[in-house]
Structure 1
C-alpha cells in the first residue's frame, strides 16, 4: 500500500496544477475543484492503468470523460428545470450568465467551432501537448489527430475572417493556433 500511496502522491504533485488548468479552461471556476478531485479519484482507483511515461495525457483523457459526464448531468438538470418551469403555477429562475459569450473576435470565432475542433485546439494551444500526446488524450493515431488539427485550424481561420468582416477589422490568428505553433516532437 505504501508504494501505491507514494506513486499516487508523486502523480498528484507532478500533475495537479496541469489538470487544474486543463479543467479551469473548460468549466466555471466554482466547478473546477470538484472535477479535478474526480479525476484524481479515478487515478487512485485505476493507479495500475496510469502509463509510466505519459501520465499527463492519460489524466487529460480522464478529465475529458469526467467533463463529459458533468456536461450530461448539467444538460439533464437544465431539461428538468425547463420541464418544471413549464408546469402551471411553478416559478423557476434560470441564470444565463454562464452562457454570455466574449465580445472579442477570437473568442467568438472559437466558440462558433464544433466542440471537437475546440478540444483539439485547446490540447495543442492551451495544454501545449505534442501531436502524439494530444492524440493519446483523444484515443486517436497521430496521423488522424494531425488531420483533425489541420481542419480545425482551417475552420478557425474561416470563423476569424467572418468575425472580423462583421466587425470591419482585419483578421488575426494567435501564434499558438497558427500552423507553426504546435510542437511535433518532445517538450522543449
Structure 2
C-alpha cells in the first residue's frame, strides 16, 4: 500500500484534479477577475491539504465552505463590499432560450434583483443555482442544518421573486390622441 504520505499525495492529486475547476468557477462568480479566483482556489486546496483528515468523501461542498469562509475573511479584512462580477457580452450571448430569442434583459434583471438581496439570500441562491448543490450540501457549506438551509432557500426565492416583480417594467410613451382642432 505504501507510506501514508504517498497515499495522501495520491488522494490530494485526485481531489485537486476533480474539484479545482469547480472552485475556480465558484471564485469567478464572486470575484472581479480570474487571477483572484485562481488564488482563492489555491488557498482552498492548501487548507484541504492541511486538514486532509477532515475532508469528507463528498468533498465539493466542504471545499465550497472553505472558499466561502476564506472570501468572508478577505472581505472583512478589507471592510468593503465584495466586487460585483460584471455581465460580459460573451455571457449574454451564451444564454438564449430554445426559440433563439434574446434573454439578456432577463439575466440583467435577475442579477440586479439578486444584488438587492442580503448576503445570505444571495449565497443560498448561488449555491443551489450556480454551484448546483443540493439543499443538504448547501447546508454543509453554510454551516447549518438541512432544515435551516431549506427555509433560507424558500425565503430567498420569495425575496428574489418580490425583487423581480418590483423591477420597473419599461413603459411606452403615451400616444397622444389628436383631434381635428390640433391639425
TM-score interval for Structure 1 and Structure 2 normalised by the shorter chain: 0.7 to 0.9
1:158 aligns with 2:162: yes
How far apart are the structure 2 equivalents of 1:127 and 1:100?
16
How far apart are the structure 1 equivalents of 2:27 and 2:141?
14
Quote the offset at 1:168 in angstroms.
4.2
2:19 maps to what in 1?
Answer: 15
How far apart are the structure 2 equivalents of 1:130 and 1:101?
26
How many residue pairs end up in the alignment? 147
1:46-102 Cα deviation digits (max 9, x unpaired):
1111012x20000000000011111122227x9xxxxxxxxxxxxxxxxxxx56976
Alpha carbons of structure 1 residues 131 and 43: separation in structure 2 relative to 1, 3 Å? same
How far apart are the structure 2 equivalents of 1:22 and 1:101?
15
How far apart are the structure 1 equivalents of 2:159 and 2:110?
12
1:180 maps to what in 2?
Answer: none
The two structures have a TM-score, normalised by structure 1, of 0.72
Larger helix proportion, structure 1 or 2? 1
How far apart are the structure 1 equivalents of 2:154 and 2:64?
21
Gaps of 5+ in 1: 79-97, 170-188
Q: Which has the larger radius of gyration?
A: 2
1:49 aligns with 2:51: no
2:144 maps to what in 1?
Answer: 140
1:105 maps to what in 2?
Answer: 109
Which of 50, 65, 71 is matched with 2:69 structurally?
65
Alpha carbons of structure 1 residues 105 and 11: separation in structure 2 relative to 1, 3 Å? same
Structure 1: 4+ residue segments shifted above 3 A: 98-103
The two structures have a TM-score, normalised by structure 2, of 0.74
How far apart are the structure 2 equivalents of 1:162 and 1:11?
43
2:135 maps to what in 1?
Answer: 131
Alpha carbons of structure 1 residues 112 and 20: separation in structure 2 relative to 1, 3 Å? same
Alpha carbons of structure 1 residues 151 and 41: separation in structure 2 relative to 1, 3 Å? same
| Alpha-carbon contact 2:16-2:45 (below 8 Å) kept | yes
